[in-house]
Structure 1
Amino acid sequence: AGAVLLGGLNMDEFAYGFTTENTHYGPTRNPHDTGRIAGGSSGGSGAAIAAGQVPLSLGSDTNGSIRVPASLCGVWGLKPTFGRLSRRGTYPFVHSIDHLGPLADSVEGLALAYDAMQGPDPLDPGCSASRIQPSVPVLSQGIAGLRIGVLGGWFRDNAGPAARAAVDVAALTLGASEVVMWPDAEIGRAAAFVITASEGGCLHLDDLRIRPQDFEPLSVDRFISGVLQPVAWYLRAQRFRRVYRDKVNALFRDWDILIAPATPI
């Protein structure tokens, strides 16, 4: 698509973390305050944009790894629909959940990157065959006609004062006032963590047996615990996921956008 590759960026090892504290390469600092974290796991991607080093970057998102650094670094990030963008050429973490997506310094940059990455890929079995849906042409339409709500319940109750205030500002700006309850949020979160630990641990099982000392100390115990999880936990989590998908899809029959904090801080 004509992009110029500038280099690689720091991240949590194997994308397993939310802080980009990497023992091998050091932590990624937040450009707005180097005494604070940049978020993770794609912390380098968010920090590089916030520091003005690049206009856009790529990240991966399993349980927030694009959204968290985008939020904490004050940039734009997009976790697209699962399968919308090809994952070919990347190293997997949790195959049934992993997404690739762009981060950028503007909505326009985010849309340009997303459109350039769209399209079916026969070499990625998880990539959707859906037609390309360009996003750049619709930016000029603004938010007119969109049904926008604010997530309450679990999302509100577990957010700190700063996160709540940020949501309130976004809601006021977008003209959203109605509170929407997301079904079984805490169960969905737990199921995602079970799937993540199990798939991630099993992916690295051989290396965990042979050379566990080479793994990131901050994540190796979680990989091992994932391997030791009963298979029944994983199967139950995936079964719940199928039911949960239907509940969430039903919610979006009434809403186009739901506002929530990306992190509780």
Structure 2
Amino acid sequence: MTTGHDVLQAIARGERSAREVCEAAIACIEATDGQVNAFTGRTFERARAEADRVDALRGSGQPLPPLAGLPYAVKNLFDIEGVTTLAGSKINRELPPAREDAVLVQRLREAGAVLLGALNMDEYAYGFTTENTHEGPCHNPRDLTRIAGGSSGGSGAAVAAGQVPLTLGSDTNGSIRVPASLCGVWGLKPTFGRLSRRGSYPFVHSIDHLGPLADCVETLALGYDAMQGPDPLDPGCHALRVQPVMPRLWSGVQGLRIGVLGGYFHDHATPPARAAAALAAQTLGTRAEVTWPDAALGRSAAFLITASEGGSLHRDDLRTRPQDFEPLSVDRFISGLLQPVDWVLRAQRYRRVYRDRVNALFADWDLLIAPATPVPAPVIGTEWIEINGVRHPCRPAMGLLTQPVSFAGCPVVAAPMWPEGTGGLPIGVQLIAAPWREDLCLRAALVLQQAGVASAPTPALPQRGRE
């Protein structure tokens, strides 16, 4: 399997040109996206121009930037200059094209990466399945009858299908980790406030995170490093300095205090999901079980804040044109508007208490392990799933194990595991660290990759264009 990291090394050695790599990615997208439906917009001419700039740098003898020639794509809530930012919606199609790139897109461009287009998602990021009514559902490359997860489903599917080695997504309640888990790719939800959100369409400003998905740990880490940095124009970006992870990536996990989350995370995971976490724990050298404080309460508070902030953002359109919203999201947005303000205020106050209780765990533990989703990818259209004998509505259940973690703001890498009992489907494991310690998550991820227990192979897909 050739990864994005391999591609970067080949370009750096002069074995491949950036334009050659770009054209190969375009050919793959054209051949497979009729089945996957990951892309909602294509920026192929821009990509060719960016690739040619990389090759021109090489031709002039200048040093290449760190992501020189690497193809990537972004969830369609990121601004792309000259492209309308859809955020998965019908209503946003009426907006003018973006005047400039989102900050993270700017940083990837400056690092030499080559943008191929915009990716499918749940409307306004409110969902875990990317069964988008306006664009059509995104299909999981591991089994085209199944969901890709969401809301960054196109971001997970594009990497899994081998269309691009790196994508950007957003994660409020699990929207990077769920697609990473179900599509079998690597995903990083950084610490809340780590990366600038300027130029991305918001969902829940007080919880939204942005981050990368990738085909290997090295690609993930390189993409993350390229996007780091303070942004004084984004009041939600709290990172004051760059903390590169690549220099520390190969440090291993020896000496780290590692635990496995039990209790809530055990009870809401099926046997294959628990087996994936157990295998990760065994590989990283631990059996210690840890209890995450108030996981169910944290998830409930996250739901209240999500519905309220999300609904408030779309208040005017919900009043005047509710018929233009996706049926899967409109009722949840409206219910969020109807919540008593006191409920939301209490949830926000509780969040401070919750974060303190969670952060106290990291006085004793450096890294915590948990399943990322309760089950592998359900079939598209599934309404209910069973978890340990209890029926759950499918869409919200995909976030059962991710919401308590993102509500605390901790950094997490989702590692693609392949346990028995899934019919050959992947299921992810969360590697969780204290705020600002993304390096620990990525170091553990690399150990799993090097041991061969976590990987993101590219499946064979029907070679047919968009129908």
TM-score by length of 2: 0.56
- 1:170 aligned to 2:280? yes
- Displacement of 1:168 after TM fit? 1.2
Pair 1:181–1:129, CA change in 2 (3 A): closer
- Displacement of 1:129 after TM fit? 4.0
Structure 1: unaligned runs, 5 residues or longer: none
CA distance in 2, matches of 1:224, 1:134: 42
Residue 195 of structure 1 is matched in structure 2 by: 305
Residue 134 of structure 1 is matched in structure 2 by: 244
Partners of 2:302 and 2:347 within 8 A in 1: yes
Residue 294 of structure 2 is matched in structure 1 by: 184
Pair 1:129–1:155, CA change in 2 (3 A): closer
Using CA pairs under 8 Å that are at least 6 residues apart, name the structure with larger relative contact order, 1 or 2. 2
Which of 176, 184, 204 is the equivalent residue of 1:66?
Answer: 176
- Displacement of 1:130 after TM fit? 2.0
- 1:85 aligned to 2:85? no
Q: Show CA shifts across 1:205-257 (max 9, x none).
A: 01111111111110000000000000011001001100011001100111111
Could you tell me which amino acid in structure 1 is paired with residue 134 of structure 2? H
- 1:226 aligned to 2:226? no
- 1:123 aligned to 2:248? no
Query: Percent identity of the aligned residues?
Result: 80
CA distance in 1, matches of 2:160, 2:130: 15
- Displacement of 1:67 after TM fit? 0.4
Q: Show CA shifts across 1:110-151 (max 9, x none).
A: 110111110000111111142110001101111122211000
CA distance in 2, matches of 1:253, 1:243: 16
Q: Show CA shifts across 1:30-69 (max 9, x none).
A: 1011111111100000010001000010000000000000
Residue 239 of structure 1 is matched in structure 2 by: 349
- Alignment length (residue pairs): 265
Over aligned residue pairs, what C-alpha RMSD do you find? 0.7
TM-score by length of 1: 0.99
Which consecutive segments of 4 or more residues in structure 1 shift more than 4 A?
A: none
Residue 4 of structure 1 is matched in structure 2 by: 114
Q: Show CA shifts across 1:87-114 (max 9, x none).
A: 0110000000000000000111111011
CA distance in 2, matches of 1:244, 1:44: 32
Partners of 2:195 and 2:239 within 8 A in 1: no
Could you tell me which amino acid in structure 2 is paired with residue 213 of structure 1? Q
CA distance in 1, matches of 2:213, 2:239: 24
CA distance in 2, matches of 1:166, 1:31: 20
- 1:34 aligned to 2:144? yes
CA distance in 1, matches of 2:254, 2:218: 18
CA distance in 2, matches of 1:162, 1:53: 28
- 1:75 aligned to 2:185? yes
